Amino acid sequence: MKIFATNPVPGNHLAELTAAGHTVEIGGEITKKVIGIEGLITLLNDRVDSDLMDLAGPTLKIIANYAVGFDNIDIKAATDRGIVVTNTPCDEVNEAVAEHTWALILALTRRIVEADEAVRRGAFKGWEPDIFLGTSLLGKTLGIVGLGRIGSMVARRARGYNMTVLYNKHEPDQKAEQELGVVFSSLEDLLAKSDVVTLHVPLTDQTRGMVNTDFLSKMKVGSYLVNTARGPVVEEHALVQALQAGHIRGAALDVYEHEPNINPELIGMEQVVLTPHIASATNEARDAMSKLLVDSLVSFISGQKPSNIVNPEVWENRRK
């Protein structure tokens, strides 16, 4: 199989493909490199639309996306053309994102970034009783919007702080309630009661821009917002206004509405923590993603349906 990867991926797993006799070319102008390929390896910031698929031609059989999300790919266009699409969800990624979520929660509530900056510019003159006073999490309420695999892992970690955990999703999850002690709540009630609200929803037509002026106005006064889900879920202008008004105390973002561009007003706010889309960035997660990526290609080449196929309905009518 002739495969083009838009960028290198961590680890040595791509070598398994070349060792098996497949051609793997890495990097270069995508519009030139895709012509005549059979497999395409992409990242989340590679836009793969119908025009690119048609440019590749009828030889393109599989698009393997090195990411959990796949909103960068026109799935319907791929399915209509008989092209299989895979992604790289795994427990290592989920654990990494849950860990990063908690890192952001703690950085916000204990003002770690502000304090670090003060020390680095020489403002620390010795212990004082009233500088960088934070908020204790012990016994507080955590609101999780979207209790999937990552949201559940975030909830599990809240036990150590003896927090009340409210969650909102389409339907109550009785298994999660029994295992994690979480409580199903309407979104409005969750926002009104939660000291920290963390987002763990996919990007869909329903969730795009869901964190808007109305959403933020319903949050508890003095609460915090954390987003490690998808950037366009949050309307950054509305978030800036809520922060400026003091309605919410702080926010932490790992993803952005117009990534990689960030609202400059957010950048200038001390009560905002910003990280560069690294929630899943652990050695363990990246290696697991690479392995899953290659495994999906190997399965496809051998005629087996990949376990991580995004559009399973295409399988019987896939290009061969």
Q: Name the active-site residue from 16, 177, 259, 265.
A: 259
Note whether 81 and 111 are same-domain residues. Answer: no
Which stretches in the chain have pLDDT values below 70?
A: none
| Side-chain-side CA neighbours of residue 147 (13 Å) | 29
The string of pLDDT tens digits covering residues 177-196 is 999 999 999 999 999 999 99
Check residue 6 and give its pLDDT: 97
CB atoms within 10 A of CB 30: 17
Write the CATH number for 104: 3.40.50.720
Count structural domains, the chain. 2
Note whether 105 and 140 are same-domain residues. Answer: yes
Note whether 269 and 147 are same-domain residues. Answer: yes
Q: Name the active-site residue from 22, 110, 247, 277.
A: 277
159 is catalytic: no
- Cβ-contact 7, 29 below 8 angstroms: no
Note whether 71 and 120 are same-domain residues. Answer: no
pTM of the shown model = 0.91
Note whether 134 and 229 are same-domain residues. Answer: yes
Find all residues with CB under 8 Å of 168, minimum gap 6, and list them. Answer: 143, 144, 145, 146, 147, 184, 185, 186, 187, 190
Note whether 23 and 131 are same-domain residues. Answer: no
Q: Name the active-site residue from 111, 200, 230, 286.
A: 230
230 is catalytic: yes
Note whether 148 and 223 are same-domain residues. Answer: yes
Check residue 197 and give its pLDDT: 98
Note whether 196 and 302 are same-domain residues. Answer: no
Residue 301: domain span: 2-87+283-317
247 is catalytic: no
The string of pLDDT tens digits covering residues 9-32 is 999 999 999 999 999 999 999 999
Tell me the sheet residues that pair with 63. Answer: 40, 85
